[in-house]
Structure 1
Amino acid sequence: MTGRFARLLGLAAVLLSTVACQTGPAQAAPVWMPSAGSTSAAGHSVVTWGAAADRLGQGTADRGYRLVVHTSAAGSGLRVRLSNAFGDRPLTLDSVYAGLQSQGAALRPGSNRRLTFHGARTVTVPAGATAWSDPLPGTLPAGSNLVVSLHSPDAAGPATGHGMAMQTSYTTQGDHTAEESAANWTDTTGSWWYLDSVSVRPPDPDTGAVVALGDSITDGWASTSDLNRRWPDYLARRLQKAHTEVKGVADEGISGNQVLADGAGQAAVHRLDRDVLSQPGVRTVFLFEGVNDIKAHTGVTAADLIAGYREIVRRAHAAGKCVVASTVGPYEGWPEWDPAGDAVRRQVNQYIRTGGEFDGIADFDRILRSPYDQARMTPFLDSGDHIHPNDKGMQAMADSVDLASLDCDR
């Protein structure tokens, strides 16, 4: 695999050099690398970025969105998935582009490319549905800041997207999707609108992905915005450097999410199919949820949570996916903490560590907790609110994951 990939990179370099010579020194070489179609298994796609779909505000007619997302796996044939999962009427998008970020809302010259849907420039997504674009020729490098620009002429009613992006994106009135300049993209948004997945065809047909199913800790709350310091981001960077077939990472965390009850997004057991199992190329589900069920003070017991975990494992296994689970971290000092809830957390963690029902275990509780008080997060990793890790805590969590446990087959 390594030698073949090196030869392909060499071929790409030759092709880029040839194009540069033909266009002359005054014109920059293309940003997207030429495709080497024979290196990707036909139809084998892997998610390279994802965000859980949820209800946003109301759609706005003639509104444009320039959405910045950070990818994981490299590959050709980029596709994006647009979501109208929570809409109450069809959603029409009449212009969708994908490019690479230069700075802010500005794109790298020559990178902005139109996406089509069954060959058409316009797509109408029915209420409750999603739509994949056609593959885009060219190869996207790993760890790219991809920019998806989209415009709807008549959006209205409930919008679908991801509320807490921890990433600055941009908006405008009118259709400026084809423009690479930032001149008309003067307003900002902290959410991702209508976009919930990006996939590529990896060079190695055995490449797979891991999807992190979680709450605000997975969603990245308290990590530094615009720097991709959520724990799944740190995990993605580890995977790119490792000798493993798992290269794709999708972050399907929702702030406030629970395993069992709808509220801040649909419960994990209710959104599993859409946000996780439907993602292309998924090999492993990484389950890290439970603290919101416990601290909600609704009487949820350890047995209740364990039943929810077992449902997720059963459905993931039925779909041929492995499940790695993490223990629930400490949160004493958070206003909703109490000894009874902490007792439930410890019972749940004992099950995760010893129950033998998961394909792998990560022990985030052990990584985050203070050696002097196991109900509290160690101050060095604490953002200050006593439940969400800071950047160092996010990295420590990702560094503790056994990468071999993610490279799993069923």
Structure 2
Amino acid sequence: MTTWAAAAERLGGGLRDLTVRNVVRTTVGGSGLRVRLTNAFGNRPVTFGHVYAGVPRAGAALEPGSNRMLTFAGSPEVTLPPGTTALSDPLPGPVLPRRRLAISLYVRGEAGTLTGRNRATAPARPPSSAAPEPGGAPAYRSVPGDHASDESGAAYIDEAAVWHWLDALTVTAPASVSAVAVLGDSLAVGVGSETGLGWVDLLADRGWPLAVVNEGVSGGKVLTAGTGLAAEKRLAAEVLTKPGIAAVILLAGLNDLGAGARAGDLIAAYRRMAATAHAAGVRMIGGTLTPYAGAEYHTPEGERARQEINAFIRHGDAFDDLADFDAALRDPAAPARLLPHHDSGDHLHPSAAGHQALAAAVTLPLPQPIATTSRSP
């Protein structure tokens, strides 16, 4: 079962012979933690000399005694050629739900082009938690050398808003637990929410036995590639390869409209994506495109296309369920615009209140696979 995941993007380079400490948070618990690494966009093999998993304390420091080494086919070292992934051996012991974890990767030698998730945010417990965990950055970079086993944070001198080479965390979870992936763009990433919690984070914090994994790429499109693959390709290449996914929520297409895409092309892509998901036994939930009048790339043609696409999502036959994000955010007095309270200020990205409304728009029962398939880690 996938308890955490991140979309892959092509980012900068320049990292060599150092350790990166990625701080993430599980959604559901289980046992036998496994870490999947990716070099999807790398231009050379990357060697990880050591990989450790621990529990953050404050900043880059870890709880004493929590940091444990992961192995890959019994070896503490693993090399990923360009375009490949590697899954660690299970780490014995329980994994708590909604627990912050620090995954430390020692990069031996030159790393080349980094595969990671840009605009990463520091994970925290739900706001309702009686004992919030200390904050910090989503990732830290060390001075040169292997500091993966360090429980002190002293060697980690730089903060980074990037998750490095992490593709997914998986656990063995009870059979009653399923996972939903959100395939989207900057709205999925959480851009606009001044609290740092986007609607996907809020969805994961409802307390249900459901893993919610975020496959958002800021600036991502359905039809064409950006820093990551086009969403249509990411569905098959990334999302559906992760264990336990029973449903996918799709909220993507505004960036395509901003680039001049036609409604018919997006609708055809949605049909293909739904067919791909169904062939894998996965349900596809269509999310209506949110209002964006006033945004820099809004045009009358784009608005007409958005309305046509939303009519298809609501009334067409491609999707198994509907999440009406448009209805959740629009201004009743001017439906092409975001409700002012839901507008972060750029007329495209929702505010914190808007992200809360997006999460509330997902009122579906727990997703069940269309067909029984084996996706255990």
Say yes or no: does 1:84 pair with 2:39: yes
The correspondence for 1:257, drawn from 208, 217, 220, is: 220
Aligned to 2:189: 219
- DSSP 3-state at the match of 1:351: helix
Q: Distance in 2 between matches of 1:107 and 1:393?
A: 34
The correspondence for 2:263, drawn from 278, 281, 302, is: 302
Q: Distance in 2 between matches of 1:187 and 1:66?
A: 10
Q: Distance in 1 between matches of 2:194 and 2:101?
A: 19
Paired amino acid for 1:251: N
Say yes or no: does 1:193 pair with 2:164: yes
Judge which range, 267-276 or 111-120, deviates more: 267-276
Aligned to 2:129: none
The correspondence for 1:365, drawn from 326, 332, 357, is: 326
The correspondence for 1:105, drawn from 60, 77, 90, is: 60
Q: CA deviation at 1:408?
A: 4.8
Paired amino acid for 1:215: D
Aligned to 2:287: 326
Paired amino acid for 1:188: E
Say yes or no: does 1:137 pair with 2:92: yes
What is the correspondence of 1:244-283 to structure 2 with a 5 Å cutoff? 247-283=210-246
Describe the superposition over 1:331-374 as per-residue Cα deviations: whole angstroms up to 9, x where unpaired.
Answer: 11111111111010000000000003211100000000011100
- DSSP 3-state at the match of 1:88: coil
Say yes or no: does 1:395 pair with 2:350: no
- DSSP 3-state at the match of 1:347: helix
Aligned to 1:313: 274
Aligned to 1:38: none
Output the TM-score relative to the length of structure 1. 0.84
Q: CA deviation at 1:376?
A: 0.6
Q: Distance in 1 between matches of 2:351 and 2:370?
A: 33
Describe the superposition over 1:57-97 as per-residue Cα deviations: whole angstroms up to 9, x where unpaired.
Answer: 11522121010112101110001111011112211100110
Count of matched residue pairs: 355
Q: Which has the higher strand share?
A: 2
Aligned to 1:231: 199
Q: Distance in 1 between matches of 2:120 and 2:331?
A: 29
- DSSP 3-state at the match of 2:356: helix
Aligned to 1:4: none
On the 8 A contact 1:324/1:406 being kept in 2, the answer is: no
Aligned to 1:182: 153
Aligned to 1:160: 115
Q: Distance in 2 between matches of 1:153 and 1:323?
A: 40
The correspondence for 1:338, drawn from 278, 281, 299, is: 299
Aligned to 1:347: 308
**TM-aligned CA distance change 1:321 to 1:59, over 3 Å:** farther
Describe the superposition over 1:81-137 as per-residue Cα deviations: whole angstroms up to 9, x where unpaired.
Answer: 110111122111001100111111111121111111111100111211000011111
Aligned to 2:335: 374
- DSSP 3-state at the match of 1:376: strand
Aligned to 1:65: 20
Output the TM-score relative to the length of structure 2. 0.91
Q: CA deviation at 1:406?
A: 2.9
- DSSP 3-state at the match of 2:42: coil
Q: Which stretches in structure 2 are left out of the alignment for 5+ residues?
A: 123-136, 372-377
Q: Which stretches in structure 1 are left out of the alignment for 5+ residues?
A: 1-45
- DSSP 3-state at the match of 2:354: helix
Aligned to 2:317: 356
On the 8 A contact 2:178/2:367 being kept in 1, the answer is: no
Paired amino acid for 1:370: D
- DSSP 3-state at the match of 1:65: strand
- DSSP 3-state at the match of 1:109: coil
Aligned to 2:175: 205
Judge which range, 338-347 or 398-407, deviates more: 398-407
Q: Which has the higher helix share?
A: 1
Paired amino acid for 2:78: V
Q: CA deviation at 1:155?
A: 2.7
- DSSP 3-state at the match of 2:256: helix
Describe the superposition over 1:7-60 as per-residue Cα deviations: whole angstroms up to 9, x where unpaired.
Answer: xxxxxxxxxxxxxxxxxxxxxxxxxxxxxxxxxxxxxxx111111011111152
